[in-house]
Amino acid sequence: MALIEKIFNPLSIFHHRRILKYLSKIDIEKIIDIGAHKGEFLEIMLKLEKVNSFYAFEPQRKIFKELNEKFSNNQKVTLFNYAMDKEITNKMLKINKLSTTSTLSKINEKSFYLKIKNFLTFSKLNFEDEYEIQTNTVDKIFEDISLEKTLLKIDVEGFEMNVIEGSQAKLKQIEFILLENQFGNHYKNNNFEDIIKFLSKHNFEICKKFTFPTLHYQDVLFKKI
């Protein structure tokens, strides 16, 4: 796994720096990072001095410990050790050997991409552990917090629609949404076109796409119109 991460980490830094360059031109003061993992995106975005509040969500127990050790002393950052959803409940989180791809989504066992990933990570199964975690919603967490001039970043391995549906009240305030669009059909009931249509009804349109260097996914930026 260390080898895989050594390959992808420099590419992730390059990818996030491209996003940083673009975001430096827009007017945002808050960033909500849902699916923060070890803080790869967060660490780069902290360079945006105009952003005074960062909220990072990561449900994986082991990964959250690393996230907490890295950012708990940063007064701009607030950390949450649970997943975001369309409801407040408990759900089973599937832990993948490649921890960036752990998920609450239903896995598409026929996905060719997943077969390649399992081969590269020497995995016989699509996940190596599973445990119950707490979920919450954007609308509940930020009920009493204004999200004007906010970027909502969501990277939750096929669970994006659930997070968005739990954010409907706050979509009236949020101005930018950054979503991961994967190309490998990894998860069931996951159609990015449905997300585009849903956000269009809430007055969002795509303003920029950032394709990852390995070409297997894009981060898509939506802007309130």
Residue 79 belongs to a domain with what CATH number?
A: 3.40.50.150
Give the CA radius of gyration of the chain. 17
Report the pLDDT value the prediction gives residue 3, as an integer from 0 to 100.
Answer: 63
The range of the structural domain enclosing residue 15 comes to: 2-224
Number of structural domains found in the chain:
1
pTM, to two decimals: 0.93
Task: Give the pLDDT of residue 188.
Answer: 79
Tens place of pLDDT per residue across the chain (225 aa)? 556 677 778 899 999 999 999 999 999 999 999 999 999 999 999 999 999 999 999 999 999 999 999 999 999 999 999 999 999 999 999 998 888 889 999 887 777 777 777 777 778 777 889 999 999 999 999 999 999 999 999 999 999 999 999 999 999 999 999 999 988 777 877 899 999 999 999 999 999 999 999 888 999 999 999
Residues in contact with 165: Cβ distance below 8 Å, sequence separation at least 6, in sequence order: 86, 198
Under the phi-then-psi rule, with left for phi > 0, alpha for psi from -120 to 50, and beta for the rest, what region is 201? alpha
Give the residue among 46, 185, 170 at the shortest CA–CA distance from 112.
Answer: 185
- What's phi and psi for 78, nearest 5 deg? -115, 125
> Exposed/middle/buried for 29, CB within 10 Å: 0-12, 13-18, 19+?
middle
> What was the pLDDT predicted at 4?
67
Phi, psi (rounded to 5 degrees) for 71: -125, -5
